[in-house]
């Protein structure tokens, strides 16, 4: 168990290290910070002084270590685009993205898993076939098209729900939440559904496929031959086994919500990290890109780790030594 | 006569597809008295498994029961609604399937699976159900039942898992059990144990058992009466002894004739020839250790399987050397060492011939599915440049096809268009195409039906005579080896424990393990001699017992066997590695 | 039996004809692809030619709406470009980028996967570690990052010229991993099979065995993933273009068109965004339907 977690942690550190290297590379090879800070017209002596004071003359390895040291403290310097500290920008934008992603994940899981079970157990019913066809639409519609269509129908045509921004937010001091106001919740509906729809369809199809696979397994046939009730076979045996791979893939898929938030936030002008990032990419705002990258990497690595632990908890074959190991 | 507990009349099972209707079971009728053991035997595609599934009501679409009736204790069950049929399954009619590795839910403790099954069918409290579950585990012979109750399936060996499966089938004391190939996935010694267990259960509980199998040896050991099936139909029914000793139907007669019987052969002693292949103290291990971190932090140890441990033997030109042993004994690793697929880590493999070729077990995996038979056979010719010109190669391919009993027209066909036996013939043709001196045959007939097996063995013998081939013939089936080999080696947990001329080893075995293997061979002659099944199972290859690896199962073991590994000692009649046998000499 | 009658008798063909949805999807995909391929012949206007575009025609609604004109079947955009023509040319670009990045991902993924699976050992470990790190991130983020880096490295005046190769590179590099993983898995299975061992006993070298025996036998799952990946590649291209980091405005793809149209969403000119969005969705849906059918048809367990 300890070794398992340690191995995972080591892998996580490896991933973070590689990402930090990429982020550092962005700083190294893209744009000259001296130019950015002093402009094109500064004298050679001024440049040299600034270079020395910024430590740009130090060996690359030292600079990298310094970069990591700063990153650990959340220090990424100033945004090139709007001349504010990157850490402040991120702290401002984080709550919006986290609340959006959380709501979308809720939509995807709360609907995706039951629908997946339903379509697997009632494979031949017309309703299940219909749901399955719709799910294909769900994975085929680009997120931004879904968003635009929802805006057209619910925002423009019926004028039911707000189509941009977060609405009113309540400042809790460390966190600005949209969960506590009516306009905040209303504003959340369309973006959350847009972001969650793709994952919903994906999770549903995954649960269905795994269930169908398990239902063909020998031990299900043997359970039938023992006369166990269908309910117990379906939920006690088949579902539990189907959920083992589902947990892994679903956990990782939820990570992609953060990535797809970039698109959703663009469509709905949602003031979150994604919008910040896409503007940074468009303007080659390296400090913001680097910070976003590392933050997202940290989130993914954390999620991966959580998924692994969960996987470990539900599959006894990992937890308890097998016959081969017992002897 | 007592009222039959199971009564099957004119059963017909059909599979409908767009290519037409396939009749899997056709007009099958039999009955089963309480406590009776009925064997249902047939080759692949005979419809025997489908018959069992139909009785259990487990035929899956597109298959369906198209006619006939099944009566259980006088009540018709084939037309019951699913919910009622479910209540009967497990309570009045149980099932045992072939593969114990996949029959149990891997995520649930075996105790929970037992209690769940018991409480589905019996009005027992949780505590009473647990008590019954423990009793059942003890009854099927699982040592330490109370401790094993909370274990998961993957913590049991194959034989123990099949015992758990049997306990589950017995959970609600059904009157009938359908056992579909219950011993096929097991080693011979474990097979003998499971057969003994089933026989005892039938006697003690009065449970009637339908035993579906391809293995007539198993039927001979256990069944009171037997049914022979072919292409969905029953061709012969009768008391087991009568059917085996005096079959009346031509198919049954052919089937019985095809079964390899120990030593049914005139052995012409071959003159000593030059040595073609020699193994000298060859050793090969596989490292199955967990990753480094696990070893450092969790204190997991290195796990090294010594698949082949200091093995020495030689094969003379023109000879057939048989290598036998149970799963995990290292005989397939020896084959791959000979073929050069593995390099020995110690010792040396000397091969005096030019080329060698190999024939494999699985006729479905041994031919590239994307290549036609002609190209498959031609590959060694082209690669070694044995012939030049497409016309010459094509003529040679036709000739090879003829030698293995196929026609030149078959060259254009793809592997999926051939039967298992035909594919094995193509494998042989491919091997011959490389003009080898030595042919390494790793279980070449184990995946084939008996009648096909007999043909392939006959072909191999004929080719040997005609072309002067040398064979290394590896098999777990002692009877097959006794029919083809000149000399034989017996392996156990990576070591060669006995060696000698085939008729001496099989008639006067010296090593207790050889004796155990021979005793576990099903008794087709039905001499009715009560033989206790062999003790124990093969040890985990990761934790080979110290001293003589066989000592935990050996009736003759004494102190020295537990401490000192016996060396292989040779004399005129062969060689043996056993302290007890050394004392006899 | 000729190849054609053989195909007519195959389960694949019967499954295809038996599923009406799949036939419809194939027809839709064929129409869209042919339309894109022959955009130059079909389109009434060349939307990239400034001479043929007139700002006076800007924001004309579709032909069947009040104020619509027969010249502009699906209306015009803010520059007076014929939307129907723009969609044809746009889908051509979308398909081009999709196919090109798919080919890149295929070559890279199948090659490295085969190597990792067949050779194993250090080669396998190295390739799979890279894949694992990359898999931690969703493909779209990788693509965004690559295109962001390219933007930052190259001077702004170069952006338009190299936008398309950068797109192909970023999408291709972000999707090779799934091919590599699948091929690796299959190659490891095939490697253990006896026909490969037979080839090794005969003496064939690893390169020859990989290309002639293993590769043909691992292509089935690759085919399925490739179909689904094509849909995803088209989606990714559209998404990047929609986000403003993909195809340049001078050479609009479907995503670029939707991006431009979304500005007019609230002011009532809905057609500029709706028609490109519909075509994009139909294209991806059709490709995915074909992929789904192919997966089921090639899966022996579902027969």
The 10s digit of each residue's pLDDT in B415-460 is: 988 988 999 999 999 999 999 999 999 999 888 888 889 999 999 9
Domain-embedded: residue B1: no
Q: Which of B59, B93, B97, B107 to mutate to test the interface with A (most CBs of A within 10 A)?
A: B107
- Are B450 and B560 in the same domain? yes
Give the separation between CA B439 and CA B359, rounded to whole angstroms: 7
Q: Which of B265, B278, B263, B261 is nearest to B321 (CA)?
A: B278
In this complex, do C258 and A144 lie within 8 Å of one another by their Cβ atoms? yes
Structurally, chain B folds into a number of domains equal to 3
Average pLDDT over residues B548-576: 90
Do residue C148 and residue A133 have CB atoms under 8 angstroms apart? Answer: no
* Mean of all residue pLDDT scores within chain B: 89
Q: How far is the C-alpha of C243 from the C-alpha of A296, rounded, in Å?
A: 19
Long-range contacts (CB closer than 8 Å, 24 or more residues apart) made by B42-45: B42/B214, B42/B228, B42/B229, B42/B230, B43/B214, B43/B230, B43/B255, B43/B449, B43/B450, B43/B451, B44/B214, B44/B420, B44/B449, B45/B231
Q: If pLDDT is split at 50, 70 and 90, which confidence band does B267 have?
A: low
Contact C202, B354 (CB under 8 A): no
CB atoms under 10 Å from CB of B138, counted, come to: 14
Exposed, middle or buried: residue B458 (CB in 10 Å: 0-12, 13-18, 19+)?
middle
Cβ-nearest to B365 among C14, C195, C199: C195
Residues B164 and B292 in one domain: no
Domain that holds residue B151: 6-258
Please check whether residues B317 and B416 belong to one and the same domain: no
Encode chain C (303 residues) as per-residue pLDDT tens digits: 455 565 566 666 666 666 777 888 889 888 988 988 888 788 777 777 777 777 777 777 777 777 777 777 777 777 778 888 889 998 999 999 999 999 999 999 999 999 999 998 889 888 988 887 787 777 788 888 887 777 777 776 776 777 888 889 889 988 899 899 899 999 998 998 999 999 999 999 999 999 999 999 888 888 888 888 898 899 889 988 888 877 887 788 888 888 888 878 777 778 888 888 899 999 998 888 888 788 777 765 443
Task: Kindly state whether residue C65 falls inside one of the protein's structural domains.
Answer: no
Residue of C128, C131, C148, C236 to mutate, testing the A interface (most A Cβ within 10 Å of its Cβ): C148
B537: closest CA among B315, B267, B327? B327
pLDDT at A324: 42
* Domain contains B363: no
The more confidently predicted of residues A34 and B484 is: B484
Structure tokens, B211:
């035993």
Q: How many Å apart are CA B134 and CA B144, to the nearest integer? A: 10
* Predicted local distance difference test score (pLDDT) of residue C268: 74
In a domain, C216, yes or no: yes
**Distance of alpha carbon A154 from alpha carbon A171, whole angstroms:** 28
Neighbours of chain C (3+ CB pairs under 8 A): A, B
Each residue of C209-243: b (16+ CB within 10 Å) or e? bbebbbbebbebbbebbbbbbbbbbbbbbbbbbbb
End-to-end CA distance of chain A, in Å? Answer: 20
Residues on chain B bordering chain C, Cβ-to-Cβ distance under 8 angstroms: 18, 336, 339-341, 356-358, 360-362, 365-370, 379-380, 383-384, 427, 430, 434, 440
pLDDT reading at B154 higher than 80:
yes
Contact between chains at B18 and C197 (C-beta distance less than 8 A): no
Of chain B residues 6-65, which have a CB less than 8 A from chain A?
Answer: 56, 58
| Cβ contact, residue pair B357, C199, below 8 Å | no
- State the smallest CA–CA distance between residue C79 and chain B in angstroms: 56
Contacts of B22 in chain C (CB under 8 A): none
- What residue ranges define each of the domains in chain A, with the CATH number in brackets? 2-72 (no CATH), 89-318 (1.10.3720.10)
* A204-222 per-position pLDDT tens digit: 989 998 999 899 889 999 9
Are residues B385 and B473 part of one domain?
Answer: no
At B526, the pLDDT band (50, 70, 90 cuts) reads low
Chain A residues in contact with C149 by the CB 8 A cut-off are: 26, 30
Q: Which CATH number fits the domain that encloses residue B536?
A: 3.40.50.300
Residues B564 and B487 in one domain: yes
- The lowest-confidence range among A274-283, B200-209, C12-21, C291-300 is C12-21
Q: What is the DSSP letter of B312?
A: E
| Res C302: pLDDT | 44
Same domain, B79 and B153: yes
Confidence (pLDDT) at B299? 64
B64 and B153 housed in the same domain? yes
Q: Do A216 and C238 touch (CB under 8 A)?
A: no
Asked whether the predicted pLDDT for residue A98 surpasses 60, the reply is yes
Minimum CA–CA partner of B167 in chain A:
A226
User: What is the distance in angstroms between the Cα of C186 and the nearest Cα belonging to chain B?
Assistant: 14
- CA dist C109 → B88, C116, C117, C172 (Å): 53, 10, 12, 10
Q: Does any domain span residue B361? A: no
Q: Is A145 on the interface with C (CB under 8 A)?
A: yes
Judged by CB atoms within 8 Å, which residues 393-432 of B form the interface with A?
none
Say whether pLDDT at B237 is over 60.
yes
Q: Domain residues for C132? A: 12-48+73-302
Nearest to A282 among C132, C245, C280 (CB): C245
Residues 481-540, chain B, touching A (beta carbon < 8 A) = 539-540
Find the mean pLDDT for residues A72-79: 79
Interface of A with B (CB under 8 A): 1-4, 6-7, 10, 217-219, 221-230, 232, 236-237, 240-241, 244, 314-317, 320-327
How does DSSP assign B273-301, residue by residue?
--EEEEEEEEEEEEE-PPPHHHHHHH-PP
Residue C1 has what pLDDT?
Answer: 41
Structure tokens at B57: 């009501």
pLDDT, one tens digit per residue, over A128-163 is 888 988 888 888 888 888 888 888 888 878 888 888
Q: What is the pLDDT of residue A211?
A: 92
Q: Has residue C61 been placed in a domain?
A: no
Q: Mark A43-64 as b/e (b = at least 16 C-beta within 10 Å).
A: eeeebeeeeeeeeeeeeeeebb
- C147 contacts A144? CB cut-off 8 A: no
**B395 pLDDT tier (thresholds 50, 70, 90):** very high
Whether C283 is covered by a domain: the verdict is: yes
Question: Which residues of chain C neighbour A149 with C-beta distances below 8 Å?
Answer: 277
In a domain, C67, yes or no: no
Best mutation target, B19, B368, B434, B442, to test chain C (most C CBs within 10 A): B368
Q: Searching chain B, which residue's CA lies closest to the CA of residue C215? A: B370
Which pLDDT band, with edges at 50, 70 and 90, does B268 fall under? low
pLDDT of amino acid A30: 62
B502: in domain: yes
User: Touching check for A140 and chain C: CB below 8 Å?
Assistant: yes
Q: In chain B, positions 309-368, which contact chain A (CB-CB < 8 Å)? A: none
The alpha carbon of residue A172 is apart from the nearest alpha carbon of chain C, in Å, by: 31
Number of domains chain C contains: 1
Give the largest CA-CA distance in chain B: 80
Cα distance between the two ends of chain B: 57
A97 touches C at CB < 8 Å = no
Enumerate residues 146 to 205 of chain A having a beta carbon within 8 A of any beta carbon in chain C. 148-149, 151-152, 155-156, 163
Average pLDDT over residues B315-341: 92
- Which of C19, C196, C202, C298 is the best mutation test for B, with the most CBs of B within 10 A? C202
Single out the residue of C290, C185, C167 nearest to residue C228, CA to CA.
C290
pLDDT of B273 over the 80 cut: no
Instruction: Provide, rounded to the nearest whole percent, the portion of chain A with pLDDT above 90.
Output: 21
Cβ separation A293–C145 shorter than 8 A: yes
CATH code for the domain in which residue C39 is found? 1.10.3720.10
Smallest Cα distance from A140 to chain C, Å: 5
User: Nearest Cβ partner of C198 from B360, B369, B384?
Assistant: B360
- In whole numbers, what is the pLDDT of chain A averaged over residues? 83
Question: Residue A286 pLDDT > 70, yes or no?
Answer: yes
Chains touching B by CB (3 or more pairs below 8 Å): A, C
Residues of B in contact with A223 (CB under 8 A): 105
Task: Decide which of B416, B435, B454 is a domain's last residue.
Answer: B435
Stretch (H or E) spanning B95 = strand B93-96
| C196 lies in some domain | yes
The answer to whether the Cβ–Cβ distance between C195 and B384 falls below 8 Å is: no
Task: Give the 3-state secondary structure of residue B171.
Answer: coil
Instruction: Mutation target for B interface from A212, A227, A310: give the one with most B CBs within 10 A.
Output: A227
Q: Residue A111: is its pLDDT beyond 50?
A: yes
- Any domain includes B207: yes
Interface test with C, best of A273, A281, A290, A298 (most C CBs within 10 A): A281
Spell out which residues of chain A touch residue B297, defining contact as CB-CB under 8 Å: 2-3, 6
Average pLDDT over residues B166-175: 92
Same domain for B192 and B241? yes
pLDDT digits (tens, 9 = 90+) for B48-102: 999 999 999 998 888 899 999 999 998 999 889 988 999 899 999 999 998 888 8
Out of B435, B459, B482, a domain closes at: B435
- Give the model confidence (pLDDT) of B18-31 as tens digits: 778 889 999 999 99
Asked if A284 and A6 touch (Cβ cutoff 8 Å), the reply is: no
Determine, for residues A293 and C149 on separate chains, whether the beta-carbon distance falls below 8 Å: no
One domain, residues B325 and B380: no
Q: Which of A221, A314, A322 minimises the CB distance to B58?
A: A221
B497 is a domain residue: yes
Q: Does C147 map to a domain?
A: yes
pLDDT the model gives residue B411: 93
ipTM: 0.81
Contact A219 B171 (CB under 8 A): no
Domain-located, residue B195: yes
CB of A194 within 8 A of CB of A150? yes
């Amino acid at each position: 168990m300890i070794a398992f977690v340690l191995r995972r942690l080591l892998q996580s550190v490896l991933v973070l290290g590689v990402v930090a290297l990429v982020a550092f590379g962005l700083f190294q090879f893209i744009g000259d910070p001296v130019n950015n800070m002093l402009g094109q017209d500064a004298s050679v002596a001024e440049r040299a002084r600034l270079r020395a004071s910024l430590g740009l003359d130090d060996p690359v390895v030292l600079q990298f270590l310094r970069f990591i040291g700063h990153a650990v403290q959340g220090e990424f310097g100033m945004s090139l685009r709007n001349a504010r500290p990157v850490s402040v920008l991120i702290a401002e934008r984080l709550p919006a993205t986290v609340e959006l992603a959380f709501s979308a994940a809720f939509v995807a899981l709360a609907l995706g898993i039951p629908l997946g079970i339903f379509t697997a157990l009632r494979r031949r019913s017309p309703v299940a076939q219909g749901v399955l066809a719709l799910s294909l639409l769900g994975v085929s519609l680009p997120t931004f098209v879904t968003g635009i269509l929802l805006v057209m129908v619910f925002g423009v045509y019926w004028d039911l729900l707000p189509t941009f921004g977060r609405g009113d937010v309540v400042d809790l001091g460390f966190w600005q939440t949209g969960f506590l106001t009516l306009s905040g919740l209303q504003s959340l509906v369309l973006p959350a559904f847009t972001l969650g729809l793709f994952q919903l369809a994906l999770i549903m199809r995954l649960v269905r496929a795994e269930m169908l696979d398990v239902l063909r397994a020998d031990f299900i046939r043997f359970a039938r031959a023992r006369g166990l009730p269908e309910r117990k076979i379906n939920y006690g045996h088949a579902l539990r086994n189907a959920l083992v791979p589902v947990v892994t893939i679903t956990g990782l898929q939820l990570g992609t919500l953060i990535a797809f938030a970039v698109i959703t936030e663009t469509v709905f002008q949602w003031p979150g990290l994604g919008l910040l990032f896409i503007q940074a990419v468009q303007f080659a705002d390296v400090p913001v890109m680097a910070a976003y990258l590392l933050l997202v990497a940290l989130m993914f690595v954390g999620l991966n780790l959580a998924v692994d632990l969960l996987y470990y908890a539900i599959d006894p074959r990992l937890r308890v030594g097998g016959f081969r190991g017992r002897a | 006569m007592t009222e039959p507990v199971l009564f099957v009349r004119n059963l017909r099972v059909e599979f409908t597809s767009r290519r037409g209707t396939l009749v899997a079971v056709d007009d099958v009728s039999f009955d089963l008295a309480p406590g009776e053991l009925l064997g249902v035997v047939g080759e692949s595609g005979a419809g025997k498994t489908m018959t069992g599934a139909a009785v259990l009501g487990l035929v899956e679409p597109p298959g369906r029961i198209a006619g006939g009736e099944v009566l259980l204790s006088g009540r018709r069950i084939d037309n019951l609604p699913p919910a009622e049929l479910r209540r009967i399954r497990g309570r009045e009619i149980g099932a045992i399937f072939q593969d114990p590795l996949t029959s149990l839910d891997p995520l649930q403790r075996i105790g929970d699976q037992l209690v769940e099954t018991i409480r589905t069918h019996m009005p027992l409290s949780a505590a009473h159900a647990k008590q019954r579950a423990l009793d059942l585990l003890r009854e099927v012979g699982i040592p330490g039942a109370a401790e094993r109750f909370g274990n998961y399936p993957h913590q049991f060996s194959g034989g123990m898992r099949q015992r758990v499966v049997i306990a589950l089938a017995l959970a609600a004391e059904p009157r009938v059990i359908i056992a579909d190939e219950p011993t096929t996935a097991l080693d011979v010694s474990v097979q003998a144990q499971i057969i003994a267990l089933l026989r005892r259960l039938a006697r003690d509980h009065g449970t009637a058992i339908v035993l579906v199998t391809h293995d007539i040896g198993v039927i001979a050991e256990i069944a009171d009466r037997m049914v022979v099936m072919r292409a969905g139909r029953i061709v012969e029914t009768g008391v087991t002894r009568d059917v085996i000793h005096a079959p009346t139907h031509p198919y049954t007669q052919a089937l019985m004739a095809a079964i390899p019987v120990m030593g049914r052969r005139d052995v012409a002693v071959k003159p000593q020839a030059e040595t073609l292949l020699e193994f000298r103290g060859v050793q090969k291990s596989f490292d199955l250790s967990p990753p480094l971190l696990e070893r450092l932090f969790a204190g997991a140890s290195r796990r090294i399987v010594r698949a082949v441990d200091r093995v020495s033997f030689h094969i003379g030109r023109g000879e057939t050397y048989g290598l036998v042993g149970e799963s995990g004994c290292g005989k397939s690793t020896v084959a791959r060492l000979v073929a050069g697929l593995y390099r020995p880590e110690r010792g040396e493999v000397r091969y005096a011939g030019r080329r060698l070729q190999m024939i494999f077990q699985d006729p479905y995996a041994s031919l590239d599915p994307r290549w036609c038979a002609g190209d498959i056979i031609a590959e060694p010719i082209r690669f070694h440049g044995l012939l030049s010109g497409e016309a010459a190669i094509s003529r040679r391919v036709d000739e090879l096809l003829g030698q293995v009993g196929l026609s030149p027209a078959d060259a254009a066909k793809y592997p999926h268009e051939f039967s298992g036996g035909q594919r094995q013939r193509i494998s042989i043709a491919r091997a011959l195409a490389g003009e080898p001196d030595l042919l390494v045959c790793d279980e070449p007939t184990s995946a084939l039906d008996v009648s096909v097996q007999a043909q392939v063995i006959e072909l191999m013998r004929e080719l040997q005579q005609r072309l002067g081939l040398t064979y290394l013939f590896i098999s777990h089936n002692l009877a097959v080896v006794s029919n083809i080999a000149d000399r034989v080696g017996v392996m156990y947990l990576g070591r060669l424990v006995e060696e000698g001329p085939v008729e001496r080893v099989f008639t006067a075995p010296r090593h207790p393990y050889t004796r155990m293997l021979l005793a576990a061979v099903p008794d087709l002659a039905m001499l009715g001699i009560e033989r206790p099944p062999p003790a124990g199972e093969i040890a985990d290859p990761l934790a080979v017992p110290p001293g003589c690896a066989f000592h935990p199962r050996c009736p003759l073991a004494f102190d020295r066997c537990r401490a000192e590994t016996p060396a292989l000692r040779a004399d005129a009649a062969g060689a043996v590695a056993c302290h007890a046998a050394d004392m006899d000499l | 039996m000729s190849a054609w009658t053989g195909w007519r008798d195959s389960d694949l063909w019967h499954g295809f004809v038996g599923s009406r949805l799949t036939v419809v999807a194939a027809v839709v995909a064929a129409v869209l692809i042919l339309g894109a391929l022959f955009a130059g012949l079909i389109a009434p206007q060349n939307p990239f030619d400034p001479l043929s575009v007139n700002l006076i025609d800007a924001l004309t609604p579709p032909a069947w709406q009040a104020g619509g004109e027969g010249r502009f079947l699906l209306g015009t955009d803010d520059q007076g470009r014929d939307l129907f023509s723009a969609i044809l040319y746009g889908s051509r670009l979308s398909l081009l980028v999709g196919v090109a990045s798919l080919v890149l991902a295929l070559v890279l993924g199948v090659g490295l996967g085969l190597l990792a699976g067949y050779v194993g050992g250090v080669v396998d470990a190295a390739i799979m570690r890279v894949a694992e790190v990359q898999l931690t991130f969703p493909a779209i983020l990788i693509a965004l990052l690559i295109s962001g880096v390219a933007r930052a490295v190259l001077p702004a005046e170069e952006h338009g010229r190299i936008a398309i190769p950068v797109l192909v590179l970023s999408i291709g590099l972000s999707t090779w991993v799934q091919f590599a993983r699948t091929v690796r898995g299959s190659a490891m299975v095939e490697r253990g099979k006896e026909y490969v061992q037979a080839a090794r006993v005969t003496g064939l070298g690893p390169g020859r065995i990989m290309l002639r025996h293993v590769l043909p036998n691992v292509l089935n799952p690759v085919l399925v993933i490739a179909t689904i990946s094509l849909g995803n590649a088209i989606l990714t291209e559209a998404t990047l273009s929609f986000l403003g980091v993909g195809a340049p405005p001078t050479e609009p793809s479907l995503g670029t068109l939707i991006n431009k149209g979304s500005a007019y969403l609230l002011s009532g000119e809905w057609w500029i965004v709706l028609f490109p969005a519909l075509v994009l969705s139909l294209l991806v849906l059709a490709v995915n339907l074909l992929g789904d059918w192919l997966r089921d048809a090639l899966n022996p367990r579902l027969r």
